[in-house]
Amino acid sequence: MATNRTFTMLKPDAVADGHTGAIIKIIEEAGFKIIAMKKTLLTPALAGKFYEVHAERPFYADLCQYMSSGPIVPIILEKDNAVADFRKLIGATDPSKADEGTIRKLFAKSMTANAIHGSDSDENAAIEGSFFFAATEQF
C-alpha cells in the first residue's frame, strides 16, 4: 500500500497558531484519508534524527531547534498518487514561492517555519510514517 500513502506533519508554528483544524480540513477536502494521526512533541535529538539527511546543511541547527519548540501533528495519509499530489497541495518549501491556495502559501511564516511537511518519495513516506507510528497503528 506504500504507493498510496504519504506522511505529513503539521509543524510547531501551524499548531501553535491554531491552524490544525483548518489544515486538516483542506487535506481531507483534497481527497486524502487519515490513516494515523496524533499530537506529540519532538525532543531536539529526535528532530535531528528525523531531519538527519540535512545534517550538513547550514539551517540544520535552526531546523532542529524549531521542530522541537512546540507540539506537532504527524499524520499518515492515503490517496491515489499520494506523495506527488500532497507535495502539490502544500506548495514550495519557501512560502514566498508557493502557489496561491497551497497550504504553505496560506499558513507558512518563513522558510524554516513553513507550516507543514510532506514526504518526497514513497520510500521516505514509509520510513517517516514508521518514525512516529507502530505498524499496528498503520492499518
Sheet strands (E) in the chain: 5-10, 33-37, 73-78, 116-118
CB of 136 to ligand GDP, least distance (A): 28
* Chain residues 88-107 in contact with ligand GDP, contact rule CB under 6 A: 93
Q: Which residues of 18-50 are buried (b: 16+ CB within 10 A; e: fewer)?
A: ebbeebbebbeeeebeebbbeeeebeeebbbeb
Read off the C-alpha cell for 109.
511564516
Residue 3 binds to ligand GDP (criterion: CB under 6 A)? no
111 binds ligand GDP (CB under 6 A): yes
User: Applying CB under 6 A, which part among 29-37, 69-77, 111-119, 122-130 lies near ligand GDP?
Assistant: 111-119
Give the residue with the Cβ less far from ligand GDP, 56 or 135.
56
Q: Enumerate residues 38-77 that contact ligand GDP by CB under 6 A.
A: 59, 62-63
| Candidate residues 6, 114, 126, 133; the one interacting with ligand GDP per rule CB under 6 A | 114
The three cell numbers locating residue 97: 514561492
Radius of gyration (C-alpha) of the chain in whole angstroms: 14
Catalytic residues: 117
